[in-house]
Amino acid sequence: MDLKRSCRDVTRLVLEGEDRELTATERLALEMHWRICTACRKFREQARLMRGAMARWRGYRDGDEPPGET
C-alpha cells in the first residue's frame, strides 16, 4: 500500500473524486499529502469552488431562480 503521492497524482485524484468514489487508500493518501502540501490544498479548494460555480451556472442556465430572488 503506497500512500506517498506526487502533486500530479493528488491533482488527478482530486478530479477523479468528482466522478467516482475514491478508495480508502486513495483518500488516506490525499489526507496525508494535504497535511504537507499547501499548493495541493489550494488546488482542492479551487476545484470545490469551480464545482459549486458550475452547479450554480447550470441552475441559472436551466431557468432556476437563485435562492431569495423572485
Q: 28 CB contacts (<8 Å, ≥6 apart)?
A: 3
Q: Is the pTM of this model over 0.75?
A: no
Alpha carbons 66 and 68: distance in angstroms, whole number: 6
**Model confidence pLDDT, tens digit, residues 21-37:** 999 999 999 999 999 99
Collapsing DSSP to helix, strand or coil, 4 comes out as: coil
Q: Could you read off the pLDDT of 40-55 as tens digits, one per residue?
A: 999 999 999 999 999 8
Domain boundaries, given as residue ranges, for the chain: 7-61
What's residue 60's pLDDT? 81
Q: Is a pLDDT exceeding 60 seen at residue 38?
A: yes
